[in-house]
Structure 1
Amino acid sequence: MLGAALLVAACDSGSDASVTPPPEGKQGVSQLAVALSPDATIDAELHQHIAELASDAYMGREPGTEGEELTVAYLVKHFEALGLEPGNDGDWFQQVPITAVTSSPEAVLSIRGADYSAELNYGDQMMAMTTRQLDQVSIEDSELVFVGYGINAPERGWNDYAGIDVTGKTVVVLVNDPGFATRDPALFNGNAMTYYGRWIYKYEEAARQGAAGVLIVHETAPAAYGWGVVRNSWSGPQIRLTDANANAHRVAIEAWLPLEQAEALFSAAGLDYGEQKAAAASGDFTPVPLGDLRASMTLENTLTSASSHNVAALIPGTRYPDEVVIYTSHWDHLGVREGEGDDNIYNGASDNASGTAALLSLARMYMELPQRPERSILFLAVTAEESGLLGSQWYGENPIFPLAKTVANFNMDNIASGTVGLTQSVAVVGYGNSELESYLEEAAAEQGRAVVQEPFPEKGYYYRSDHFSLARVGVPALYLTRATDSIEHGHEWGAKRLADYRKHHYHKPSDEYDPSWDLSGSVQEVQLLFAMGRRLAANREFPRWNEGVEFKAARDASLSESANK
């Protein structure tokens, strides 16, 4: 079933690739008192696994396709060769029921008013989809209402829906949250995005309010990605968990508008977009009807249901096999769809062949230990992350190990992004969330590195990868990302490298493997994750969330329930 040769051992286990420190004083670092000896075996493994999984033969690793069959077969082949056991009660797979909804790109969003008429085309002028699993969905003459950020947060004294009934209407909302807009540290989380800023929350809340449709205004800075990402990610098959109730609890039309189209819409209603946006960031905002404007749209859909697969590989614990440390990465990407130029395969080399490669490398490292860990280690390669964290959501709702017995989760996503190389620090997404950071600080200190907050807390990355699915059910989860303070080239160079990846390659066909990549920083991340998991697998601790973190209550409840049994 595999379309290319399997990985063979290229280097002797444990060999090192020494790294020469920069000259005295370069970047303000004196001889770099750091352990700069990334393991050459890990480096070779990462390169070879990424090259394989990101090759055209895997067709972009889209769930429910031949690309999935090739990918999961590759993973099982390697886990089995390493000597791991099937992780789901004797099965390598956890079945994940999915339904792909593919909407016709011929769809048009019509906006009508007494003195205004516009036909917005799919792709450049708007992007629309539906999570309702129906052959056709539509809105007809639906009143447009601007509801600011579309947030209802009683604990923060904030309700953008106060005083208005939006049943059957189409709400226009801003992306991100008021903290980002104002940079006020006392408002939401200031510059660091909360879950209220995520697009999925806005769709869900609008549905709870009874809306028929949602138009999110896209701006690159608060969204954290350009319009090309919206166009590429929301076109083609939209995969969701198969859900008979999806039609009851989601709006009919979920859409995005480019800023230019949104400004024209507000102008047609006699409103200034900039003024309304500023007003929405204040605590006394009230919803604003967009004049007499009405929206109509029909999506003709093709539905395809299938079973996708999480791949689960296990090292049973020698003393406490019912307790588990979980490593996750998502194996999927966007598959084959309309691309840029002649390239229509979204190979996803960094996102996330790199994290999947790391999962395999970690499995090999554990299996080569002279003694197996006392707690179980589960290596979970999940499906459909790109479709909304679906594989990890399914696991969180249907865990193989009880949540109260799940010690921690370490997630690996896009660990090759930017290929910045060795850095002076390691960055944490969701900095300050849990006691797992004490484990990270100890492991990072052994590498001579500091632990810092992620470079872009305003972009909401904590809610955008698979650890979130476990965090929301209470499991302490740690997610590392690229620091930009390159030892060899400095912070400015590292920041430019990372920005270039996000602008030109993220969710684009150009996210392809390059054998010249410097993966030394990725190797060090694997080494950190190994050190932390190994320590947790050898003690009796159950790390907790820090006070004030939204996931703490779920964790405390699960541990309390388990203790009382």
Structure 2
Amino acid sequence: MRVAAIALLLCTTAATAQTPPAISVDTLKTVTQTLSSDAYEGRAPTTPAETKTVAYIVERMKAAGLKPGNAGQWTQAVPMVEITATDVKPFVFTGGREPVSLNYRTDMVAGTYRVVPKVDVKDSDVVFVGYGVTAPEKDWDDYAGVDVRGKTVVMLVNDPDWQTPGRDGPFEGRAMTWYGRWPYKFENAAKHGAAAAIIIHQTEPAAYGWPVVQSSWTGPQLELDERGDHMDQSQVIGWMQQAAALKLFASAGKDLGALTAAAQTKGFRAVPLGVKLTTGFGNTIRRQASQNVVGILPGKTAPKDVVLYSAHWDHLGRCDAVDGDDICNGAVDNATGVAGLIALAEAQAKAGPAKRSMVFLAVTAEESGLLGSRYYAEHPVYPLANTVGGVNMDVLNVEGATRDFVLEGAGKSEIEDLAKPIVLAGGRTIAPEPNPERGGYFRSDHFSFAKLGVPMLSGSSGEDLVKGGTAAGHAATLDYIANRYHKPQDQYDANWDWSGAVQDLSVYYTLGRQLADDTSAWPNWYRTSEFRAVRDRSRPAR
């Protein structure tokens, strides 16, 4: 985007933001309560609950005034393969001072991306590969000088410098990078030929406790149904509790604490543990399409240009029971986001068509690794070269109005420059991420679009609550993560305060409207961003 165009759009945006749109709190409440009720069984993809969920979202999009967004259809089929591990054998490590056996669910979880009926790993040499990172641009390679083909790699979660205050450090300090995320670590292990890849779980650097790992990594697991059946991936992927890892390393005659410290320094070299892993399990395989839901408000004069709003409709379905309740309802995560999507559709439709089209996308299988958004990005209904940018909504604020607004992964794209004056015009400040170690930027559906060049805003209320300040806001965040996130307790509460959600949705509305009405606006990534090159290639004329 040209500097003059940015300046003009910022002025227009700041003026327009003085009058927030009418966001229906009734819609937010009704959609959230409905989708998170037990009748929707936790909204697991490819289950009977999906049919009910998709039908309800379509019904609400129609009522909001949208049109079917996929060549006259409301949905986009997303081919899925469901793999359910059966009869999972313990992780048995031999060759150390004494055998170590780790039990499924309590000590470890295991699965596979491979679409095969049976997995067997026998007497696989175990190697500790630090944080499992290969980053040539940082002159960092935890696999340097070691051949792990056919072996088992054990690695740490997050980045090597996650304990560094601020953002100073080779991996942005406290802020998690893509290298710290578990999907990257498994992907990199597979590239190096590892037969098995195991991450050591620690609550603080993982940003969630073991129950989250247990509920997310047991039961049916989804992956895109693609050619080759993912045979290029490791046979086994999984996690082990930190206490179990301490037991394993002690048996191998190694000090996990000392090796962790070594792994945090450049030049670390992988350490064979001198033990072998044996494990295995069967797989029940089911192939079935899931659905993204696509609605559109067609543009008046530039209908081929698209501004995108997205939110994921799925959750975990049936999960580990708590007090007899085995439905992970996913009220906050992410029935609220879908409610926000519908409320925005209503507001934009009432305002009338903009010059550009607005697409409202409810994607599937975010909880399984951003699969629905990844499929859309790789098979877009509307070309990504014509997708101006947009907003992704994953969890709305139900704790009340805030004095601040946080941009996740700040410092990446010009769309942030467009959002800031809207926030300031609403009387709020821009605050740094309070918990950048959680790697939020890489954990939701905007990342699928970012990787292919489309700048999407990922921003929401900060923790400085009007009622209670930052102490109350931070306590609410910690309470949600500890007691409700990915658990049956994430249920609708009639006492929620929606004023913060309305604040954020007003920002999203104004940003989307400005992008859709200014046909000169084409926000790009900053030149320092890892996503700039792909955006430039997709739109060479700009």
**TM-score, with length taken from structure 1:** 0.91
Report deviation, 1:177. 0.7
| 1:24 equivalent in structure 2 | none
The answer to whether the aligner puts 1:283 opposite 2:266 as a matched pair is: yes
| 1:515 equivalent in structure 2 | 494
Tell me which amino acid in the other structure corresponds to 1:315.
L
Report deviation, 1:40. 7.5
The percent of aligned pairs where both chains have the same amino acid is: 44
Report the Cα distance in structure 2 between the residues aligned to 1:83 and 1:409, rounded to whole angstroms: 20
| 2:473 equivalent in structure 1 | 494
435-444 or 35-44, which deviates more: 35-44
Q: Which of the numbers 175, 181, 191 marks the counterpart of 2:174?
A: 191
Taking the TM superposition and a 5 Å limit, the aligned residue runs for 1:300-449 are 300-369=282-351, 371-416=352-397, 419-449=398-428
**Residues 462-518 of structure 1, C-alpha deviation per residue, up to 9 Å, x if partnerless?**
000000000000001111133110112111011001110011100000000000001
Taking the TM superposition and a 5 Å limit, the aligned residue runs for 1:151-162 are 151-162=133-144
Runs of 4+ in 1 over 3 A off after TM superposition: 35-41, 181-184
Report the Cα distance in structure 2 between the residues aligned to 1:242 and 1:512, rounded to whole angstroms: 31
User: With CA pairs under 8 Å and 6+ residues apart, which has the higher RCO, 1 or 2?
Assistant: 2
Taking the TM superposition and a 5 Å limit, the aligned residue runs for 1:69-468 are 69-104=51-86, 106-113=88-95, 115-183=97-165, 185-291=168-274, 293-369=275-351, 371-416=352-397, 419-468=398-447
SS at match of 1:521: helix
Alpha carbons 2:405, 2:423 under 8 Å: kept: yes
Alpha carbons 1:373, 1:537 under 8 Å: kept: yes
**Residues 173-221 of structure 1, C-alpha deviation per residue, up to 9 Å, x if partnerless?**
0011112144471312111111000001010001000110011000011
SS at match of 2:42: helix
Alpha carbons 2:21, 2:347 under 8 Å: kept: no
Report the Cα distance in structure 2 between the residues aligned to 1:239 and 1:462, rounded to whole angstroms: 22
| 1:55 equivalent in structure 2 | 37
Report deviation, 1:41. 5.3
Tell me which amino acid in the other structure corresponds to 1:427.
V
Alpha carbons 1:429, 1:462 under 8 Å: kept: yes
Report deviation, 1:409. 2.3
Q: What residue ranges of structure 1 are gaps of 5+ in the alignment?
A: 1-34
SS at match of 1:548: coil
Alpha carbons 1:409, 1:470 under 8 Å: kept: no
| 2:484 equivalent in structure 1 | 505
* Residues 1:105 and 1:122: Cα distance change in structure 2 (over 3 Å): farther
SS at match of 1:399: coil
Tell me which amino acid in the other structure corresponds to 1:414.
V
Report the Cα distance in structure 1 between the residues aligned to 2:512 and 2:96, rounded to whole angstroms: 63
Q: Which of the numbers 506, 519, 539 marks the counterpart of 1:527?
A: 506
**Residues 382-435 of structure 1, C-alpha deviation per residue, up to 9 Å, x if partnerless?**
00000000000001100111111100020000113xx32111011111112111
Report the Cα distance in structure 2 between the residues aligned to 1:490 and 1:105, rounded to whole angstroms: 49
* Residues 1:327 and 1:40: Cα distance change in structure 2 (over 3 Å): closer
Aligned residues: 524
Tell me which amino acid in the other structure corresponds to 1:331.
W
Report the Cα distance in structure 2 between the residues aligned to 1:313 and 1:247, rounded to whole angstroms: 32
Report the Cα distance in structure 1 between the residues aligned to 2:183 and 2:375, rounded to whole angstroms: 17
Report deviation, 1:38. 7.9
**Residues 512-563 of structure 1, C-alpha deviation per residue, up to 9 Å, x if partnerless?**
0000001110111111100000001011210011121111111111111xx3
**Residues 136-173 of structure 1, C-alpha deviation per residue, up to 9 Å, x if partnerless?**
11211000000101111111100000001000000010
Alpha carbons 2:404, 2:461 under 8 Å: kept: no
Please give the root-mean-square deviation of Cα atoms over the aligned residues, in Å. Answer: 1.5
| 2:10 equivalent in structure 1 | none
| 1:26 equivalent in structure 2 | none
Alpha carbons 2:83, 2:115 under 8 Å: kept: yes
186-195 or 312-321, which deviates more: 186-195
308-317 or 240-249, which deviates more: 240-249
| 1:12 equivalent in structure 2 | none
Tell me which amino acid in the other structure corresponds to 1:211.
A
Report deviation, 1:43. 1.5
Report deviation, 1:106. 4.1
Alpha carbons 1:440, 1:451 under 8 Å: kept: no
Report deviation, 1:338. 2.8
Report deviation, 1:37. 9.8
Alpha carbons 1:313, 1:378 under 8 Å: kept: yes
Report the Cα distance in structure 1 between the residues aligned to 2:461 and 2:252, rounded to whole angstroms: 44
SS at match of 1:178: coil
| 2:25 equivalent in structure 1 | 43
280-289 or 437-446, which deviates more: 437-446
Report deviation, 1:439. 1.7
450-459 or 104-113, which deviates more: 104-113
**Residues 301-354 of structure 1, C-alpha deviation per residue, up to 9 Å, x if partnerless?**
111111100000001110101100000000000001332220000100000000
Report deviation, 1:114. 5.2
Report deviation, 1:44. 1.5
Alpha carbons 2:22, 2:347 under 8 Å: kept: no
Alpha carbons 1:312, 1:380 under 8 Å: kept: yes
Report the Cα distance in structure 2 between the residues aligned to 1:351 and 1:432, rounded to whole angstroms: 26
SS at match of 1:379: strand
SS at match of 1:295: strand
Tell me which amino acid in the other structure corresponds to 1:551.
F
Report the Cα distance in structure 2 between the residues aligned to 1:336 and 1:187, rounded to whole angstroms: 40
Report the Cα distance in structure 2 between the residues aligned to 1:267 and 1:65, rounded to whole angstroms: 43
Report the Cα distance in structure 1 between the residues aligned to 2:99 and 2:130, rounded to whole angstroms: 23
SS at match of 2:416: helix
| 1:3 equivalent in structure 2 | none
SS at match of 2:41: helix
**Residues 60-102 of structure 1, C-alpha deviation per residue, up to 9 Å, x if partnerless?**
0000011110110001111112221110111111000001101
Report the Cα distance in structure 2 between the residues aligned to 1:246 and 1:477, rounded to whole angstroms: 31
Report deviation, 1:115. 3.2
**Residues 338-379 of structure 1, C-alpha deviation per residue, up to 9 Å, x if partnerless?**
32220000100000000000000000001101x410000000
316-325 or 237-246, which deviates more: 237-246
Report deviation, 1:118. 2.1
Report deviation, 1:247. 3.4
SS at match of 1:535: helix
SS at match of 2:147: coil
Report the Cα distance in structure 2 between the residues aligned to 1:491 and 1:280, rounded to whole angstroms: 34
